[in-house]
Amino acid sequence: MLENWVVTPTCLPLVLRRCHVCASERFRASGKFRVNAHHKLIDAWLLVLCTACGDTAKLTVLERMNVRSVRPELLDRLHDNDPGLAAELLQDPVVRRRNRIALDWDGAWCLDTGGPGHPDRLDRADREVLDVSVRFAARIPVRPVRLIAEGCGLSRSEVERLVAEGSLVSAVRLGGRLSGDFTFTLKG
């Protein structure tokens, strides 16, 4: 039996960057943009707020771009402070690299197993094999062992024991972090 699990974001992740005012390491995205035009050139920034002191910092989205080279839909979304655009830009590797930031996804995602709760151990024992396809709605780096433990209602050490025994197998390495879709099989 194949089950489909989905890892979905519940809110915007925290931005890991040093604050120039208080030396804190965490910012939260406000979801607001600042757009500045100078003749035919345009700049745009995503505003983030320090979680400790509230100081505002700017993450560069567009820098000295010709206005005609920017898609009108993107300009509209920037002017409308589209929260979906903020989420897209935070996940964009080019924006993260340009601004030298990382993201902290702790507490900003949830696992939807498609059921009302965790499957009971007896239900799993009755099944010969449990095949699960895990899909990521966003590029959220999570340890597969943690996902499997949460989805099956097990402890992480029990999941690691099942991996060591060979009762839990996957084509991907379950020891590190993943942010892409994968499948695994749990043998009863």
Asked if residue 149 and residue 95 are part of one domain, the reply reads no
Q: Model-level pTM?
A: 0.78
Query: In which band, very low, low, confident or very high, does the pLDDT at 136 lie, cut at 50, 70 and 90?
Result: very high
Query: In which band, very low, low, confident or very high, does the pLDDT at 127 lie, cut at 50, 70 and 90?
Result: low
Range of the domain at 39: 18-100
Asked if residue 87 and residue 117 are part of one domain, the reply reads no
| Domain end (from 100, 125, 150) | 100
Q: What is the CATH number of the domain that holds 178?
A: 3.10.290
List pLDDT tens digits, range 148-174: 999 999 999 999 999 999 999 999 998
Asked if residue 129 and residue 86 are part of one domain, the reply reads no
List pLDDT tens digits, range 79-116: 999 999 999 999 999 999 999 999 999 999 999 998 65
pLDDT reported for residue 121: 42
- Structural domains of the chain, count: 2
Asked if residue 114 and residue 41 are part of one domain, the reply reads no
- What's the whole-number average pLDDT of the chain? 90
- CA–CA separation, 80 vs 23, rounded Å? 31
Query: In which band, very low, low, confident or very high, does the pLDDT at 140 lie, cut at 50, 70 and 90?
Result: very high
> If DSSP states are collapsed to H, E and C, what string results for the chain?
CEEEEEEEECCCCEEECCCCCCCCCEEEEEEEEEEEEECCEEEEEEEEEECCCCCEEEEEEEEEEEHHHCCHHHHHHHHCCCHHHHHHHHHCHHHHHHHCCEEECCCCEEEECCCCCCCCHHHHHHCCEEEEEEEECCCCCECHHHHHHHHHCCCHHHHHHHHHHCCEEECCCCCCCECCCEEEEEEC
How close are the terminal C-alpha atoms of the chain, in Å?
A: 12
- CA–CA separation, 89 vs 146, rounded Å? 27
Asked if residue 43 and residue 62 are part of one domain, the reply reads yes
pLDDT reported for residue 62: 95
